[in-house]
């Protein structure tokens, strides 16, 4: 079997950098042909891994949700299989699938390589600059602002960058007006801080933004909040962190298969914690498009 191992040497701020090499060596010891790719930048990793996967059967990604995002955009919609070795700071996708710890997955590699694939839904994101796939959450609200800010905090130590971006965004949250159309229905305008299209239940390190979302139901979950005063935003944020926001009348949660979002201003779109494009976007579900190998 031909296997490509793609690892993120900066995952968990570099503390898990050796894991990629350990995984590659373990798979080679099992008798498989292995190519290990460990590029520091996302664009280089995507290009090199995509090329390596032309002749390979299985992709093994070592890292967090950013590496799952990379995998979705390489093997999503194909017959190639995926193994996820969770070693990032959030690992939201791996947590939902119940994959276990880094050590547990490494110890199970032999069984995983022989397992039957579990078909998982993906999100197809059409935006002005192209098309991307996502495994977890597509965000244009508060979480997207946090991500964009964190990428710009280059003078902040990497281990503190995301937390600093959360604080900065909480102190200066920004309402935006969105035109939203779900399943081709009537367009509605929302002025909001919270706007997400969810495939996964959680994001941002286990924040339950869409507690009822299911990775295998062929549906997406749109989450929008009404315009809020600053005190009410902080109150709602506390509810979101505990997964108790769905009962709030100011929060709207709708299952759908397609979601179209537009705005009169430039808005960055993030997915799985990565910047993927800008509005307008059309998100649609791709049922069973990612073939994940896991122990059930």
pTM: 0.92
Same structural domain, 281 and 216:
yes
Residue 224's pLDDT is: 94
User: Where residue 77 sits, what CATH number does that domain have?
Assistant: 3.40.50.10330
Same structural domain, 146 and 80:
no
Same structural domain, 71 and 178:
no
Residue 218's pLDDT is: 98
Quick one: tokens of 161? Answer: 């960058």
Strands (E) in 1-50, as ranges, are 2-7, 33-37
Same structural domain, 193 and 278:
yes
In a domain, 72, yes or no: yes
Residue-number span of the structural domain to which 271 is assigned: 132-288
Quick one: tokens of 80? Answer: 């190639």
Question: Helix 65-75 to helix 42-52 angle, to the nearest 10 degrees?
Answer: 40
Helix, strand or coil, per DSSP, at residue 185: coil
Residue 94's pLDDT is: 96
Tens of pLDDT, residue by residue, the chain (296 residues): 999 999 987 655 556 678 999 999 999 999 999 999 998 788 999 999 999 999 999 999 999 999 999 999 999 999 999 999 999 877 999 999 999 999 999 999 999 999 999 999 999 999 999 999 999 999 998 888 888 888 788 777 766 777 788 888 888 888 899 999 999 999 999 999 889 999 999 988 788 999 999 999 999 999 999 998 989 888 988 888 788 888 888 999 999 999 999 999 999 999 998 999 999 999 999 999 999 999 87
Same structural domain, 162 and 62:
no
In a domain, 103, yes or no: yes
Residue 81 CA to residue 277 CA, distance in Å, equals 26
Residue 198 CA to residue 225 CA, distance in Å, equals 14
Last residue of a domain, one of 53, 80, 115: 115
Residue 94 CA to residue 86 CA, distance in Å, equals 6
Same structural domain, 71 and 32:
yes
Same structural domain, 273 and 160:
yes
Angle at 208 between CA 203 and CA 213, to 5 degrees: 90
Last residue of a domain, one of 88, 115, 142: 115
Last residue of a domain, one of 64, 90, 115: 115
Strands (E) in the chain, as ranges, are 2-7, 33-37, 58-63, 81-86, 117-127, 130-134, 137-139, 176-182, 188-192, 195-198, 220-225, 251-256, 258-262, 268-271, 274-278, 281-293
Residue 199's pLDDT is: 98
User: Where residue 199 sits, what CATH number does that domain have?
Assistant: 2.60.200.40
Residue 296's pLDDT is: 79
**How many CB atoms lie under 10 A from the CB of residue 158?**
12
Taking the mean position of all CA atoms in its chain, how far away is CA 83?
16
Q: Which of 211-240 are b and which e, b meaning 16 or more Cβ less than 10 Å from the residue's Cβ?
A: eebbbeeebbbbbbbbebeeeebeebbeeb
In a domain, 296, yes or no: no
**What is the total count of domains within the chain?**
2
């Amino acid at each position: 079997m031909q296997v490509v191992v793609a690892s993120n040497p900066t995952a968990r701020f570099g503390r898990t950098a050796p894991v990629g090499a350990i995984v590659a060596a373990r798979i080679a010891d099992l008798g498989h042909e292995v190519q290990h790719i460990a590029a520091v930048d996302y664009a280089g990793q995507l290009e090199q891994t995509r090329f390596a996967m032309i002749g390979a059967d299985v992709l093994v990604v070592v890292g967090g949700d950013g590496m799952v995002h990379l995998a979705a955009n390489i093997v999503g919609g194909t017959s190639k299989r995926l193994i996820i070795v969770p070693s990032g700071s959030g690992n939201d996708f791996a947590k939902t699938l119940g994959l276990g710890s880094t050590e547990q997955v490494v110890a199970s590699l032999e069984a995983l390589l022989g397992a039957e694939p579990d078909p998982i839904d993906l999100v197809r994101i059409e935006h002005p600059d192209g098309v991307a796939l996502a495994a977890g959450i597509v965000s244009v609200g508060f979480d997207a602002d946090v991500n964009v800010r964190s990428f710009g905090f280059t003078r902040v130590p990497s281990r503190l960058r995301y937390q600093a971006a959360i604080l900065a965004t909480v102190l200066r949250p920004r309402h935006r007006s969105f035109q939203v159309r779900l399943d081709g229905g009537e367009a509605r305008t929302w002025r909001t801080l919270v706007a997400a299209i969810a495939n996964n239940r959680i994001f941002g390190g286990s924040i339950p933004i869409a507690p009822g979302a299911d990775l295998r139901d062929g549906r997406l979950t749109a989450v929008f909040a009404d315009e809020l005063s600053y005190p009410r935003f902080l109150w709602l944020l506390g509810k979101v962190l505990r997964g108790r926001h769905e009962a709030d009348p100011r929060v709207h949660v709708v299952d759908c298969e397609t979601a179209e979002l537009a705005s009169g201003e430039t808005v960055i779109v993030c997915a799985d914690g990565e910047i993927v494009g800008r509005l307008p976007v059309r998100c649609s579900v791709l049922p069973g498009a990612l073939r994940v190998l896991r122990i059930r």
